[in-house]
Amino acid sequence: MSEPRGPDTPADPAASDGSGLAVGVRRWVATIETDLAAVAVGVVGSASVLLSGVDAPVSWIVGVPFLLFWPGYATVSVLLPMAVQIDTRPSVTADQAGPPSPGWPARLGLSLLLSMIVVAIVGIGIDRVASIRLGPAVVAISVVTVVGVVVAAYRRRRLPPAARAAPLGTGRPRVGSVTSGAGAVRSSRHRWTLVLAVVLLVGTASFVAVTPAYESSYTESYLLTENDTGSLVAEGYPTTVVVGESQLLAVGVENHEHRPITYTVDLVVERVGPNGSVVDQQRVDRFRVELAHGERSIAERQVNPTLEGDTVRIEARVYKSTTPSTADEPDQTTRLWIEVVDPTSG
C-alpha cells in the first residue's frame, strides 16, 4: 500500500518535466506574432516559386496573394498594431465611445486595397531606376513586405499583451465588442462596404485573368541565304555578285496583324551615289503572299542584278496591298549591300 502524498510531496519528475515543457512551448508560441510569421513565410515561399520560373497554374496560385494580400496585410499591421478595442463600459454610450477600431473583416479588406497601392508604388519606383522585370519586381515587393512585417511586430511588442492584435488567437485575452444599436449599424455598414469592395476586386482580377493580353500588330520581314549544306540561314550573305549569274535569296514574311493580308513583295536593285542618293534602280522581281494571322512564308527567288558597282543594294519591299504604286512607301524594307562586278572586266 502506497502512502498518501502530502501537499509538500513533489510530483512525478517525468510528469513535471513534460508538463513544464508543454507550458514552455505554449508560452513561446504565445510570444510569436503568428499571423506576421505566416505572412513572412508566405512571402518568402511565393518569391522562391515565382523566381524559379514555374508555369501556370502554380504561378497564379502563389502570385495572387503575393500581389493582392501579403503587402497590404503587412501595411495594415503596421498602421493598426492594436487589437479591436471598443469601450463597452455600461456607463459609456456609443456616441461617447467614439468610432470603433476596425474589426478583422475591415482589416482584411484594407489589406486587399493597400496591396494594390503598395505594388503600384513599388512598380513606379522600379520603373524609375530600371525596366520592370519579374526578378526585380518580386525581390522589391518581398523586401517591402518583410520590412513591414518587422515594423508591425515591433509596434505590437510595444503594447500590452492584451492590447495587441492577435487574429489567429495565441492565448491573449479577447477584447469585448459593442452591442449597442449604433455600433451594430456601423458594423453592418462596414461589412457591406467590405463585401462590395471584395466583389469588385475579385471581379476585376477575374476579368484581367480571362481577357487575353493586348498584342501589337506588326509585319515582320527578313532575307535569308543558302549555306554550304543547302539550309536557309540569316548569315553568310553574299558580298559579291557577278553580272549574268543568278543569286539565290529567300524572302521571309510573317503576319502578326490579327487579320489575313495579301502582301506584295518587290525585289529592287539600287545603285547608290557618293552622297547617299539613289543613282539608278531596277525591279528584278515582284510576287504576292497571302497569309492569315500568325502565318509566315519563305519565298526563294533568283536575283540577277545588272547594275554594276560596289555600292549596290538589294531591297525587299513589303506592301500590305495587292496593287502598290511606285509612290507608295513600303510597310517593311530589308536591305542587303553587295558589289556587282562584270566578269569580263579586269
Predicted local confidence at residue 208, as pLDDT: 54
Same-domain check for residues 203 and 222? no
State how far the Cα of 77 lies from the Cα of 111, in Å rounded to an integer: 9
Which residues lie below 8 Å from residue 40, measured CB to CB, with a gap of 6+?
A: 145, 146, 149
Predicted local confidence at residue 108, as pLDDT: 80
Q: Which long-range contacts (CB under 8 A, 24 or more apart) does 238-241 make?
A: 238/338, 239/337, 239/338, 239/339, 240/338, 240/339, 240/340, 240/341, 241/303, 241/305, 241/338, 241/339, 241/340, 241/341
Q: What is the pTM of this model?
A: 0.44
Q: What angle do CA 123, 124, 126 make, to 5 degrees?
A: 65
Q: What is the mean pLDDT of the chain?
A: 77
Give the cell for residue 13. 519528475
Q: Where are the alpha helices (DSSP H) in the chain?
A: 13-31, 34-51, 58-68, 70-79, 94-97, 104-129, 134-157, 181-210
146 falls in which pLDDT band (50, 70, 90)?
Answer: very high
Q: Provide the 8-state DSSP code for 162.
A: G
Lowest mean pLDDT among 41-45, 130-134, 284-288, 330-334: 130-134
Same-domain check for residues 28 and 169? yes
**Which one has a higher pLDDT value, 265 or 209?**
265
Q: Are 321 and 264 in contact (CB under 8 A)?
A: yes
Give the cell for residue 198. 471584395
Same-domain check for residues 134 and 51? yes
Domain count, the chain: 2
For 290-304, write each residue's pLDDT tens digit.
Answer: 999 999 999 999 988
Q: Tell me what the mean pLDDT of segment 320-335 comes to.
A: 88
State how far the Cα of 45 lies from the Cα of 239, in Å rounded to an integer: 56
State how far the Cα of 39 lies from the Cα of 69, in Å rounded to an integer: 9
**Which one has a higher pLDDT value, 156 or 87?**
156
26, pLDDT greater than 70:
no
Q: Tell me what the mean pLDDT of segment 259-265 comes to.
A: 94
**Which one has a higher pLDDT value, 201 or 257?**
257
Percent of the chain with pLDDT over 90: 25
Predicted local confidence at residue 223, as pLDDT: 93
Q: Are 257 and 293 in contact (CB under 8 A)?
A: yes
Predicted local confidence at residue 143, as pLDDT: 92
The residue type found at 92 is: V
In a domain, 184, yes or no: yes
Same-domain check for residues 295 and 313? yes
Whether cis (ω within 30° of 0) applies to the bond prior to 161 is no
Same-domain check for residues 205 and 236? no
14, pLDDT greater than 60:
no
Same-domain check for residues 226 and 180? no
Same-domain check for residues 174 and 296? no
Lowest mean pLDDT among 19-28, 40-49, 91-100, 231-240: 91-100
**Which one has a higher pLDDT value, 332 or 131?**
332
Q: By CB neighbour count within 10 A (0-12 exposed, 13-18 middle, 19+ buried), where does 314 fall?
A: buried
Picking from 210, 237, 261, the residue at the C-terminal end of a domain is 210
Predicted local confidence at residue 19, as pLDDT: 63
Q: Tell me what the mean pLDDT of segment 183-211 comes to.
A: 56
Task: Provide the CA 224 distance to its chain's centre, in angstroms.
Answer: 36
In a domain, 7, yes or no: no
176 falls in which pLDDT band (50, 70, 90)?
Answer: very low
For 54-91, write each residue's pLDDT tens digit.
Answer: 777 788 888 888 888 889 888 888 888 887 654 444 44
Same-domain check for residues 206 and 275? no
Strand 309-319: give its sheet, edge to edge.
240-242, 332-341, 309-319, 261-272, 278-291
Same-domain check for residues 184 and 249? no
Provide the residue range defining the domain that includes 248: 218-341
- In this structure, the number of other CB atoms found within 10 A of the CB of residue 42 comes to 17
What CATH number should be reported for the domain holding residue 302? 2.60.40.10
215 falls in which pLDDT band (50, 70, 90)?
Answer: low
